[in-house]
Chains A and B, each alone.
Chain A
Amino acid sequence: MLSFVARRLLIAIPTLWAIITVCFFLMRAAPGGPFDGEAPVPPEILANLRAAYHLDKPVMQQYISYIADLAHGNFGPSFKYKDFTVTELIAQGFPISAQNGLSAILLAIFIGVPFGILAALRQNSASDYSIMGVAMTGIVVPSFVMAPILILIFAIGLKDTPFQLPAGTWEGGAIKHRILPVFCLSLVYIAYLARITRASMIEALRQNYVRTARAKGLPFRQVVVRHALKTALVPVVTFLGPGIAFLLTGSMVIETIFQLPGIGRYFVQGALNRDYTLVMGVTILSASLIILMNIVVDVVYGFLDPRVRYD
């Protein structure tokens, strides 16, 4: 298995390189540049700026020197957040996004999966329909609708009650200030996980070996937990892999609404500002995370099903 992981990590290098290359040239191909502002910049200053950031060189040369910098672990300076390097921006924001994302994922697993199992065990009952109804709502209502509603309820409606929760403030990450954004982040994932778990659990319970386990006279709980659950978790893990990668890199919507100093907003702001290096930085970060999570998923498959082979 170690050699499998090593091989996959090696293959990840050309994959990343391809992503970097495509992203680099796409950004340069987009009209406009990092120094286009509302007020036109005098041509001499613009020329100086472009020279300072090496934008006056041919694109191919810029690309080669960018790759060379990357190889040394240097993501370059941000074009928009002056005095900051991309590495510094990510180092500041990523831990915050990652902490919130991780909390959201854990919340989603511990709520979504049990409810999905419950719905599967009581298939077509009132509790199944209500769980699935709530889950469907969670999936279709976008977070930019859900977040203001939650703010209305918990920050404004319940003001001056013990249930009041702050919104739009960070306060260095005090737990109270994280509850609403983390909950908003996890809602969609709770809903998806519940639905995926229900479907895969229903499928697993139909397997012949579950019938065998019941024929052995084992209590139903044991049948579900020992014999059906592992199989049912395969699609859940498949979904969670990229899901975790997305959540760790933050959400533009949630971070904007709740004023969180994460990196989610860099994805959109960076692209709009033509902040070439910042866009490259966050793209490389999320691409690496997705590649890494997919490797983790493949390894976890092996634990869920011994028939999975790594050679």
Chain B
Amino acid sequence: MPILDIRNLNVRFATQDGEVSAVNDVSLSVEKGECLGIVGESGSGKSQTFMAAMGLLAANGRANGEILFDGANLVGASEDAFNTVRGNRMSMIFQDPMTSLTPHMKIGRQLAEVLVHHRGASVVEARIQSLAMLKRVQIPEAERRLDMYPHELSGGLRQRVMIAMALLCSPEVIIADEPTTALDVTVQAQILDIIHDVKERLKTAVVLITHDLGVVAGLADRVAVMYAGRIVEVGDVGSIFSDPRHPYTKGLLACTPRLDDARQGIMTTIQGQPPNLQRLPSGCSFHPRCSYAAERCANERPALEIYGQGRARACFKDLKAA
């Protein structure tokens, strides 16, 4: 049984200009110990899917469908129910480490309160365990950092603190929402190494949300590609990269700059812009930007069809391997 099983999830936001459909009929599952990469542009619904799973949607957001965590549905669950899961069995690492730690609390206290709350640990115990966790995520001079405020740490260190915080209660699932986007390239690699280490050694399931295909390629076992709030393609990482079967995935891969490319200077792009979530195009949301689009694509929405082993895609066109 998958540890996290999302079924037919819809997320809507009520705004003054009408309803925004951020996530549409998304079904995803994460197995124990697996790393699932979620790829998509800004506004593709990749973050909101998992914000819903954490019960962190904005006040005007509503989730519909099922989010089964270890068999229990979290959609519509109370804050108290979420609070037994969040930070304990499922935790989240956010994009911006510079603003994601409370500025007026020492690192040690911010870590310790997780253990005090979920494990009933004493303050001393919690401090010892926090220190061990800081060392595990390779924070130098960890003891000294416990008594520092977040602003005294660099971005990379703060992201390590966030990871340590997420790991404190040995969660079954860690959701990493663009964990490296705000960091320097060299620091990015270190953070990804740590996440890799967590996955390998602690057998924690990791959901890696990113727009960076390189990040996914290095870490994920499976990849789901999202566009306009829907999953357009799912598969294991190798086949997605070597044999994309959805025009959007194909387009994304083509956009990745390559050092060994002979055509210097001109970057491939996908024409057009991501659609307005309040006025989604008819039929397949991607058809206005799709070079394979046919008449049918504008009228009918392709369903996510399973084909082959663990692979699915939502497209009428039978794209074959290039």
Chain A residues within an 8 Å CB radius of B117: 216-219, 222
Quick check: is A207 within 8 A (CB to CB) of the other chain?
A: yes
Q: How far is the CA of A26 from the CA of B104 in the complex (A)?
A: 46
Q: How far is the CA of A207 from the CA of B103 in the complex (A)?
A: 11
Q: A126: shortest Cβ distance to chain B, in Å?
A: 16
Stretch touching chain B among A17-25, A67-75, A141-149, A299-307:
A299-307
Quick check: is B202 within 8 A (CB to CB) of the other chain?
A: no
The answer on a CB contact under 8 Å between A227 and B102 is yes
Stretch touching chain A among B31-39, B92-100, B259-267, B296-304:
B92-100
Quick check: is A159 within 8 A (CB to CB) of the other chain?
A: no
Give the bracket for the number of chain A residues in contact with chain B. 20 to 34
Q: How far is the CA of A123 from the CA of B94 in the complex (A)?
A: 26
Q: A229: shortest Cβ distance to chain B, in Å?
A: 10
The A-contacting residues of B in range 54-88, CB under 8 angstroms, are 54-56, 59, 79-80, 82-88
Q: Which of A123, A215, A304 contacts B104 (CB 8 A)?
A: A304
Q: How many interface residues does B have (CB within 8 Å)?
A: 32
Q: Which of B85, B99, B100, B104 contacts A217 (CB 8 A)?
A: B85
Q: Contacts A208-B94, A215-B91, A215-B92 hold; do A307 and B85 have CB atoms under 8 A apart?
A: no
The answer on a CB contact under 8 Å between A216 and B165 is yes
A contacts with B: majority SS:
helix
- Candidate in A214, A222, A304 with the most chain B CB atoms within 10 angstroms: A214
Chain B residues within an 8 Å CB radius of A218: 83, 87, 113-114, 117
Quick check: is A92 within 8 A (CB to CB) of the other chain?
A: no
Chain B residues within an 8 Å CB radius of A305: 103-104
Please report B residues at the A interface, Cβ cutoff 8 Å: 54-56, 59, 79-80, 82-88, 91-92, 94, 96, 99-105, 113-114, 117-118, 149, 151, 162, 165
Chain A to chain B contacts (Cβ below 8 Å), 14 pairs = A123-B59, A208-B94, A208-B100, A211-B94, A212-B100, A216-B114, A217-B84, A217-B86, A217-B87, A219-B117, A231-B104, A306-B103, A306-B149, A307-B103
Please report A residues at the B interface, Cβ cutoff 8 Å: 123, 207-209, 211-220, 222, 226-227, 230-231, 304-307
